[in-house]
Structure 1
Amino acid sequence: MDSLSQAVLGASIVAAAVPATQRRLGLLAGAILGTVPDLDTLIVPLFTQAPVSLFTWHRGPSHALWLLLLLALLLWWALKKISPAVRQAPRAWLIATALALITHPLLDAFTVYGTQLWWPTSSSPVMWASLFIIDPLYTLPLLVGVLAVLLGGPKRWAFFTVVTGLVLSTAYIGWSHISRSISSHAVAHSLQQQGLGGAPYLLIATPFNTLLWRVVVITEQGHAVGYRSIFDGDKTLQLSHYPSQPALLQEQIAINPEVARLAWFTSGFINAEVRDRQLIINDLRMGTEGHFTFAFEVAQNVAPDGAAPQWQSHQVAPMVKRSGSMAAAMNKEWQATWGRIVQSWRERSAS
Structure 2
Amino acid sequence: MDSVTQILLGSAVGYATLGNKLGRKSLLVGAAFGTLPDLDVLINFGGDVENFVYHRSFSHSLIIQLLLSPLIAWLIAKMHWTKSVSLTRWSVAIFLIMGTHALLDTFTVYGTQLLWPVSNYPFGISSVFIIDPMYSLPLLLAFIALCFTRLQPYATKINTAALVLSSLYLTWSLAAKWHIDNKIQHALTNKMIAFKQFESTPSPFNTLLWRAVATTEQGHYEIYASIFDSVNEVDIRFYKTENHVLNLLDDDQRIALLQNFTKGLYGVYQQEQSYVFSDLRMGLEGFYVFSFEIAKPFENNIELSDFRQLQNRPPLNRASLVFKRITDPYVNLSLIHTE
Specify if TM > 0.5. Answer: yes
Q: Look up the match of 2:114.
A: 117
Is 1:297 matched up with 2:293?
A: yes
Structure 1 position 207, deviation (Å): 0.6
Q: Which has the higher helix share?
A: 1
C-alpha contact 1:124 1:266 (8 A) present in aligned 2: no
Q: Look up the match of 1:81.
A: 78
Structure 2: how far apart are the matches of 1:331 and 1:153? 43
Structure 1: how far apart are the matches of 2:19 and 2:229? 48
Q: Look up the match of 1:287.
A: 283
Aligned with 1:311 (options 291, 302, 312): 302
> Structure 1 pair 191/122, CA: closer, same or farther in 2 (3 Å)?
farther
SS of 2:231's partner is coil
TM-score by length of 2: 0.91
Q: Look up the match of 1:329.
A: 315
Deviations 1:109-129 (A, max 9, x none): 111111111222455311211
Structure 1 position 224, deviation (Å): 0.9
> Structure 1 pair 150/250, CA: closer, same or farther in 2 (3 Å)?
farther
Structure 1 position 19, deviation (Å): 4.4
- Comparing 225-234 and 85-94, the one that deviates more: 85-94
SS of 1:225's partner is strand
Structure 2: how far apart are the matches of 1:84 and 1:277? 61
> Structure 1 pair 108/153, CA: closer, same or farther in 2 (3 Å)?
farther
Structure 2: how far apart are the matches of 1:331 and 1:94? 46
Structure 2: how far apart are the matches of 1:172 and 1:55? 28
The aligned length equals 330
> Structure 1 pair 311/81, CA: closer, same or farther in 2 (3 Å)?
same
Is 1:343 matched up with 2:325?
A: no
> Structure 1 pair 214/54, CA: closer, same or farther in 2 (3 Å)?
same
Structure 2: how far apart are the matches of 1:21 and 1:65? 26
- Alignment RMSD: 2.1
Matches within 5 A, 1:1-351: 1-42=1-42, 44-45=43-44, 47-48=45-46, 50-152=47-149, 155-235=152-232, 237-252=234-249, 255-303=251-299, 307=300, 310-314=301-305, 316-322=306-312, 326=313, 329-332=315-318, 334-343=319-328
Q: Look up the match of 1:348.
A: none
C-alpha contact 2:198 2:212 (8 A) present in aligned 1: yes
Structure 1 position 336, deviation (Å): 1.9
Corresponding letter in the other structure for 1:157: Y
SS of 1:101's partner is helix
Structure 1 position 155, deviation (Å): 2.5
Identity over aligned residues, as a percent? 35
TM-score by length of 1: 0.88
Structure 1 position 94, deviation (Å): 2.7
> Structure 1 pair 19/103, CA: closer, same or farther in 2 (3 Å)?
closer
> Structure 1 pair 251/202, CA: closer, same or farther in 2 (3 Å)?
farther
C-alpha contact 1:224 1:242 (8 A) present in aligned 2: yes
Structure 1: how far apart are the matches of 2:288 and 2:131? 18
Deviations 1:314-341 (A, max 9, x none): 2x3111232xxx5x71341x21211111
Structure 2 unmatched runs, 5+: 331-339
C-alpha contact 2:187 2:234 (8 A) present in aligned 1: yes
Structure 1 unmatched runs, 5+: 346-351
SS of 2:111's partner is coil
Moved over 4 A (4+): none
Structure 1 position 187, deviation (Å): 1.5
